[in-house]
Amino acid sequence: MSSSSLVLTLLLVLIIEINAEISDELSWTTSMGNVRNTRRLIPSIPTGYNGTTWTLFFNSSTQDKTVFGSAAGTNGDLYLFITDSPYSSGDYMLCLTPNGEIRWKMHLESASFKINVGVSNIVSDQKNNLLYYTSSWADSGTFVSKICRVFYPDTHHPAQECLDTYRISSNYLAPLALNTKADLLITTVIENSPAAFNTTTFEMIWTDAEAMGSDASADYKTDPLTGDIYWISGSDDMYKMNTNGTRAFINDTNSGGNRHFALNSQEQIVVRAWQNLSDHDWPLVVSGWNVENTGLHERWQWKNTNSSNVNTDCTPPVMDNQNNAVYFVNLPQTIALDATTGLSRWQIRLVTMTEMNEFDLVTECTTFNEHTRVLYVLVQSTKTSFKLFLMAVHVDTGKILHRTNITTVDSKISIPFCPILIGDELIYISWLTGDYPDQVPLTITTIPQLS
């Protein structure tokens, strides 16, 4: 082989490697708590999904006291916590196959004479086929937390290994995330600061005592290219730090609204929907920021000029790297913008104004299959008759492809969780219903994706 073809081959290998890394399909495991799973997960071994639609009902009572974060494995299995007792937040981890069978049910490692007062979300490490979670245990005067890994989750015989720690408190809504670039687990420690733990030893490597950590409304993402960490904390500040915890900047994001954002790591652009509270109408704004190390610099701003729309609720944007676009839902519309300029690509009406008003429709989640080009939008009614339906939109044409009614139940509590897409095959959807605080059962259903 000549030296130039060697260089070419090396370059090609490098390009393929980079492409594999930035495919972004793993971003929901590397984001905080994966509470808003915007991406599909590509299983690395066959799922064996036979195309059935199934529904399972778990009559557990305290699911809503946990950071509900199910995760999916290398074979498309779903992992979640369940409990049998109204006093504890998680007794078992459960593994369901894509066909709705229980592959295993494993008691969480417990602390003697203490009850479980919190569990984190489950983090699935696809590369090493491991799961991570944290749990907290208390009696009347003392508490201890555990940071745990689960081995062999794809077999019928999983095993777990935990380390006791007094740093973490899982009942503090401290989601857990993985930084695959640097092999770090990122979470919030008791002083409410972000911290990084070694995935092998569970030793705390750094914490930033001045930074605000996570709460349920904060958002965290790892840049898959650099490993850099982006964090919008409970104080509305955006932090950028490298894998050593060294800060590149802290900038005030200056806004109301939710804190979820999308990251385009190639272009180093962050996109987020917010509300300008200095403007007396508190209008909805979607902004793109450059996030180089000198700080957060606004690049473009989009405002809904469509006077038929005064709704300021908006889903976190989802980034389409293939088409350099961002998609979000601001009911009744779904909107596509160019990620570099903020110019509109298309807008479509998802539901009628009559239906919106009659059922008080809201949406918090979109989930995107970049490969089939389908954006799924989970819409719910906030009326006591809880309705949940899934709309599918083709992102290249802006056409509505399908609407699937998922459920209608009479229930005081109704909390849907964001769907998880497995390959091009199936979608897991789950929700809590019930009557707080006694019975808050969990329902999980699976339907095939559009092909």
Ligand X SMILES: *[C@@H]1O[C@H](CO)[C@@H](O)[C@H](O)[C@H]1NC(C)=O
The residue ranges that bind ligand X (CB under 6 A) are 50, 52, 59, 99, 101, 182-184, 198, 200-201, 205, 242-244, 249-252, 276, 278-279, 295, 306, 308, 332-333, 347, 349, 387, 405, 439
Residue 134, strand partner residues = 147
Considering the complex, what minimum distance in angstroms separates the CB of residue 7 from ligand X? Answer: 26
Q: How far is the CB of 370 from ligand X (least distance, A)?
A: 25
CB within 8 Å of 10: residues ≥ 6 apart? none
Q: Is-contact 384 398, C-beta < 8 A?
A: no
Taking the least distance from each CB to ligand X, the nearer of 168 and 285 is 285
> Judged by CB, which is closer to ligand X: 200, or 354?
200
Nearer to ligand X, 174 or 250 (CB): 250
- CB neighbour list of residue 58: distance below 8 Å, 6 or more residues apart: 82, 441, 442, 443, 444
Which stretches within 335-385 are classed as H helix? 353-359
If the CB atoms of residues 149 and 387 are measured against ligand X, the closer one turns out to be 387
Distant-in-sequence, close-in-space partners of 451: CB < 8 Å, separation ≥ 6:
372, 424
CB contact set of 22 (below 8 Å; sequence gap of 6+): 224, 225, 265, 266, 321
Strand order in the sheet with 426-434: 40-41, 413-422, 426-434, 442-448, 54-58
Q: Which residue is nearest to ligand X (CB)?
A: 295
DSSP character at residue 356: H
The least CB distance from residue 143 to ligand X, in Å, is 26
Contact 213, 226 (CB under 8 A): no
Least CB distance from residue 157 to ligand X, whole Å?
20
Nearer to ligand X, 303 or 322 (CB): 303
Instruction: Provide CB contacts within 8 A for 269, sequence distance 6+.
Output: 263, 288, 289, 290, 291, 299, 339, 340
- Residue 258: half-sphere exposure toward Cβ, Cα within 13 Å: 20
For residue 324, the tally of other CB atoms under 10 A from its CB is 16
Which CB, 349 or 394, lies closer to ligand X? Answer: 349
35 or 392: CB nearest ligand X: 392
CB 285 within 8 A of CB 276: yes
Q: Which amino acid is at 90?
A: G
Supply φ then ψ for residue 57, to 5 degrees. -125, 125
Q: Are 275 and 257 in contact (CB under 8 A)?
A: yes
Residue 9 or residue 244: which is nearer to ligand X going by CB?
244
Complex with ligand X: residue 290 or 439, whichever CB lies closer: 439
Nearest approach in angstroms of CB 173 to ligand X is 26
Q: What is the closest distance, in whole angstroms, from the C-beta atom of residue 160 to ligand X in the complex? A: 19
Q: How far is the CB of 35 from ligand X (least distance, A)?
A: 25
Select 111 or 432, whichever has its Cβ closest to ligand X.
Answer: 432
- The rounded distance, in Å, linking the Cα atoms of 415 and 207 is 33
Q: How far is the CB of 27 from ligand X (least distance, A)?
A: 20
Answer yes or no: are the C-beta atoms of 123 and 131 closer than 8 Å.
yes
- Least distance between ligand X and beta carbon 2 (Å): 34
Q: How far is the CB of 440 from ligand X (least distance, A)?
A: 10
